[in-house]
Amino acid sequence: MGKRIFLFVLTNIAIVTTLSIVLSLLGVAGYINLDGSLNLGALAVFCLIYGMGASFISLQLSRWTAKRALGVQLVNGQTGNADLDWLYSTVEKLARQANLPKTPEVGFYESPEVNAFATGPTKSRSLVAVSSGLFRAMNRSEVEAVLAHEVSHVANGDMVTMTLLQGVVNAFVMFFARVVGHIVRQTMDSRYAHLVAFLVTIVLQIALGVLGMLIVSAFSRRREFRADAGGGALAGRANMAAALRRLQSTVDRVDDAAPALASFKISGRPGWMELFSSHPPLEKRIAALQATEAN
């Protein structure tokens, strides 16, 4: 746990430092004019760079972060371990079927959870990894379907589109929270203006961020249906449905150690509200596959 916290802190320090340097080079160190008025143009650039920049830097670091946060061990098809060599060759085959420009890095991590994930900044710089728990709980046709689902995420460019959406949401949240905070500062007694404006900005950023999560989560759920369909096309709809049924009995074993990867896994822990869940209920995903097969 200490290593994961250290990696999280280190990553965030690197992101903040990089963005601060970029803002300074662009001359957008601040967005308050000398007369106290708000420079909306500078504020928009500030929020866009921080909102989009933080998301894209996180995406660029996603493979590195995932490997270290979960202890992912890469395989190359020549380990001498039958299961791991089969894992690599299966991802390699699925990548060719999906017309990926390059086979993703392939790995596994020790965890009782029955899960897998895909991440990476581009189709040619991606990572597909599975948990040891998945190997123990599923047969090979089901594992192949899970891998096909993850390869479909890569082929669909889901990591980039999720990053773009999150970046836009971040930018809007930061912008509107600061505009309202500035209006409050202008209308308050100068003795309390800065403190109250700061609190209003923070509260609004949290509240708007929660609303933004609804948009991001809705897109994530839609993306899962699409990856299920892609997985079914690559590995067979019956195998994809069988893998999802297997996941229904193992959702209690989802590992929350790396929450940043939650939306990139094949299965997620049910949220306290479906609207905030990154994954649709498994029964809905199975029904969608069956409906597609019937058509």
The pLDDT tens digits of the residues spanning 73-84 come to 999 989 889 999
- Mean pLDDT (the chain, rounded): 83
Q: Is the residue at 193 inside a domain?
A: yes
pLDDT for position 90: 97
**Among 114-118, 121-125, 290-294, whose mean pLDDT is lowest?**
290-294
Rounded CA-CA distance 211/275 in Å is 10
Nearest-10 Cα torsion for 27, 29, 35, 39: 70
CA distance 101 to 6: 34
Confidence of residue 7 (pLDDT cuts 50, 70, 90): very low
Give first-to-last CA distance, the chain, whole Å. Answer: 48
Q: Answer with the residue of higher pLDDT: 70 or 292.
A: 70
* Cβ density class 2-13: b for 16+ within 10 Å, e for less: eeeeebeeebee
Residue 33 lies inside a defined structural domain of this protein? no
Residue range of the domain that includes 179: 72-294
- More reliable by pLDDT, 50 or 144: 144
How confident is the model at residue 34, as a pLDDT? 73
pLDDT digits (tens, 9 = 90+) for 183-234: 988 888 778 888 888 899 889 988 988 888 889 889 989 999 999 999 999 9
Q: What's the pLDDT score for residue 197?
A: 86
Single-letter residue type at 22: V
Higher pLDDT, 20 or 70: 70
- pLDDT at res. 194: 83
63 in any annotated domain: no
Asked, for residue 7, whether it belongs to a domain, the answer is no
Which range among 8-17, 33-42, 144-153 shows the weakest confidence by mean pLDDT? Answer: 8-17
Q: What confidence tens digit (pLDDT) does each residue in 240-258 have?
A: 999 999 988 776 555 555 5
Judged against a pLDDT cut of 70, whether residue 1 lies above it is answered with no
Is residue 113 part of the annotated active site? The answer reads no
Question: In this structure, is residue 41 part of a structural domain?
Answer: no
Q: Specify the pLDDT at position 25.
A: 59
Q: Which residue in 105, 142, 150, 224 is the catalytic one?
A: 150
- The share of the chain scoring above pLDDT 90, in percent, equals 38
Distance of alpha carbon 239 from alpha carbon 131, whole angstroms = 19
Determine the residue type at 52. Answer: M
Tell me, yes or no, if the pTM score tops 0.75.
yes
Does the pLDDT of residue 86 top 90, yes or no? yes
Q: Which CATH number belongs to the domain containing residue 247 in this structure?
A: 3.30.2010.10
Count the domains in the chain.
1
Q: Tell me phi and psi for residue 78, to 5 degrees.
A: -130, 35
Check if the beta carbon of residue 83 is closer than 8 Å to that of residue 47: no
User: Domain for residue 46, yes or no?
Assistant: no
- Please, which pLDDT band fits residue 96 given cuts at 50, 70 and 90? very high
Residue 147 lies in a domain: yes
The answer to whether residue 270 sits within a structural domain is yes
Residue 66's pLDDT is 87
Q: What is the mean pLDDT of residues 20-28?
A: 59
d(Cα 23, Cα 45) in Å, to the nearest integer?
Answer: 9
The answer to whether residue 263 scores a pLDDT higher than 60 is: no
What is the band of 17 on the pLDDT scale with cuts at 50, 70, 90?
low
